[in-house]
Amino acid sequence: MAMLDHRGFDLSDLSLSRPEAIDAWFPALGLPDTVQHAPGQWSALATWPGDRMIFSDETEGELVMWPDHRPHRVQVEFSGDVLCEGMERLIWAPAEFVALAMAMRDDDDYLDEDRARAWVANLRGTPEPVAPSPWRSAADLAGVPVPDRRWLIEGLVPDRNVTLLTGDGGTGKSLLALQMAVAVATGAEWLGQPVRAGRAVVVSAEDDADEVHRRLHGIALGLGMGLGDMPRLVFRSLVGEGALLAEKGRTGFKPTALLAEIEAAAEGARLVVLDTLANFYPGDENDRAQTTHFVDLIKGVALRARCAVLLLAHPSKSAMDNGAGYSGNTAWNNAVRSRLYLKRITRQDGAEVIEPDPDARVLRTMKANYGRAAGEMSLSWCGGLFVPSAPETSLDRAAANAKADRVFLALLDAREASGRHVSHNPGPTYAPAVFARDDEAEGLTKRALAAAMERLFAAGRIVIKTHGSGAKARSHIGRGGENE
């Protein structure tokens, strides 16, 4: 039997003469905190909902489930002994020992024996055929309890289905998705919303491992935890490797080996994040049949692995302009059950697009087959992650605006009195930036002062004036109204 573990490492050369190599098996197989007490004596601290194992018994010619279900985080004194014996005798493939340690569970978090056996059979090159879906009579459902709608995040991300998260490059959708994965893996809230906790799998085809590391570090700091608190989050960077999840066949798309690897990693997970669509999709984004078929392949992973899949994508320029938030034909929108759109807050000022607050975002629910669409959430980037914006009362807003207006006019008067002009155009003399650095700015930011400048222009309290003449004529901001 080929000695391949579930991550594909070739371990066929291991032997008793290389105990240091055997030491590497346990962490590679997902057995944490493993200790070798003496030659052939091991123990491992199990951290799975059920730490049962599965292996092949060649004498009986079948897969054996062993031992019985045990409570969470129990000391498994015998697991290392059995695994070591299996390696010595070269009888059992390592993957067969950890099939159940991958937390293959049913809806009640108990072991799903059929799925575990199918998973091992697939790794051994003898995948069990997928049974066709049956025809059923509605009358057969009489008296059967109606199943609850299952969510990863109530109203936003349905379980066992695909959610499309779109956003322009640099908007922060990768960070937002990584935050969701951290929330799932640690049981923390995501943007103030409770999540179903469990394993989370992140596959990034845009960011390298170092960038993912930096972002996870920032999220951990923002949440007041450490990276050591995230053992249930696993990630893989495919940058530079090629990341297509399907390839074109004679009758449509066929899943690639990479998609099969992702599905294997998704076993027992609550969430799989795929970042981004452009790297994974091999077809024409404007071909309705192709896009529908591709999403169906991803949806199959979600159904078989019983997890939510979050698929990230860039919208087209026209989709950003018209607010649709996706690229290609409407099949992308129709094929998924939920679609979220992360966008910046901007406004048009003549030919110029102004972003009053570069840290502000809006997360909008563009489609929700199982919930309410057209909802939105205001977010702010703060300390390495996105947080919900605190609701602001009208009185708070009025007081803050009045203060910013007052400070802007006072600083403008001081500059004018000394003959130092400021401009409304971005550059070295851009008024909000210049004023924010002033000692008399009373702590106001460039963002707040820029908003004040726009209000004062609209009210006519400041206007554009010119100084100099001829080729040296320049524009500047001056007082309007009472000081004209």
Q: What is the CATH number of the domain that holds 291?
A: 3.40.50.300
Domain endpoint, select from 362, 388, 414: 388
What is the β-pairing status of strands 233-237 and 199-204?
parallel
Higher pLDDT, 357 or 91: 357
Q: Is the model's pLDDT at 310 over the cut of 50?
A: yes
Question: Closest by alpha carbon to 409, among 304, 473, 481, 319?
Answer: 481
By mean pLDDT, which of 41-55, 164-178, 189-203, 466-480 is the weakest? 41-55
One domain, residues 216 and 356: yes
Residue where the block lists tokens 């302009």: 321
One domain, residues 168 and 186: yes
Question: Looking at the domain assignment, is residue 421 inside a domain?
Answer: yes
One domain, residues 277 and 347: yes
By mean pLDDT, which of 117-121, 148-152, 393-397 is the weakest? 117-121
Average pLDDT, the chain: 75
CA dihedral 298, 288, 129, 160 (to 10 degrees): 30
Question: Looking at the domain assignment, is residue 256 inside a domain?
Answer: yes
Question: Looking at the domain assignment, is residue 117 inside a domain?
Answer: yes
81 pLDDT tier (thresholds 50, 70, 90): very low
**Alpha-carbon gap, residue 183 to 267, rounded angstroms:** 18
The domain containing residue 461 runs over which residues?
394-483
Hey, what long-range contacts does 2-10 have (CB within 8 A, 24 or more apart)? Answer: 2/93, 3/87, 3/90, 3/93, 3/94, 4/93, 4/94, 4/95, 4/123, 5/29, 5/93, 5/94, 5/95, 5/98, 6/30, 6/94, 6/95, 6/98, 6/99, 6/102, 6/123, 6/264, 8/261
Residue 10: φ, ψ to 5°: -85, 110
Higher pLDDT, 146 or 18: 146
One domain, residues 97 and 194: no
**Alpha-carbon gap, residue 369 to 272, rounded angstroms:** 20
Q: How many residues does this entry show for the chain? A: 484
One domain, residues 342 and 256: yes
Cα-based angle 294, 274, 28 (whole degrees, multiple of 5): 120
One domain, residues 428 and 360: no
Contact 379, 419 (CB under 8 A): no
| DSSP 8-state assignment for residue 124 | T
Q: Is the model's pLDDT at 302 over the cut of 90?
A: yes
Q: 454 Cβ partners below 8 Å, 6+ apart?
A: 349, 354, 356
> What six digits make up the tokens of 108?
């009640």
One domain, residues 422 and 317: no
Q: Please, what is the angle between helix 446-459 and helix 394-417, to 10°?
A: 90
Cα-based angle 174, 360, 375 (whole degrees, multiple of 5): 80
Q: What is the pLDDT of residues 214-233, one digit of tens each?
A: 999 999 999 999 999 999 99
**Alpha-carbon gap, residue 386 to 10, rounded angstroms:** 41
Average pLDDT over residues 409-427: 91
**Alpha-carbon gap, residue 210 to 216, rounded angstroms:** 10
Prediction pTM value: 0.60
- Which pLDDT belongs to residue 482? 53
Question: Closest by alpha carbon to 429, among 407, 403, 453?
Answer: 453
One domain, residues 333 and 449: no
Question: Looking at the domain assignment, is residue 23 inside a domain?
Answer: yes
**Three-state SS at 427:** coil
Domain endpoint, select from 331, 356, 388: 388
- Which pLDDT belongs to residue 353? 73
**Alpha-carbon gap, residue 195 to 278, rounded angstroms:** 28
265 pLDDT tier (thresholds 50, 70, 90): confident
> What six digits make up the tokens of 456?
């004062």
One domain, residues 277 and 360: yes
Identify the bridge partners of residue 377 per DSSP, sorted by sequence position. Answer: 363
Higher pLDDT, 108 or 389: 389
Q: What is the pLDDT of residues 5-57, one digit of tens each?
A: 323 333 343 332 333 444 444 444 444 444 555 544 444 444 333 333 443 44
**Three-state SS at 383:** coil
Domain endpoint, select from 364, 388, 412: 388
One domain, residues 380 and 405: no
Number of H helices, E strands in the chain: 15, 22
**Alpha-carbon gap, residue 378 to 290, rounded angstroms:** 34
One domain, residues 187 and 110: no
Question: Looking at the domain assignment, is residue 201 inside a domain?
Answer: yes
Residue 452: φ, ψ to 5°: -65, -40
Question: Looking at the domain assignment, is residue 1 inside a domain?
Answer: no
Question: Looking at the domain assignment, is residue 130 inside a domain?
Answer: no
**Alpha-carbon gap, residue 250 to 476, rounded angstroms:** 66
First to last CA, the chain: 91
How many domains, the chain? 3
One domain, residues 178 and 313: yes
Q: Is the model's pLDDT at 107 over the cut of 80?
A: no
- Which pLDDT belongs to residue 186? 93
**Alpha-carbon gap, residue 275 to 181, rounded angstroms:** 12
Contact 179, 193 (CB under 8 A): no
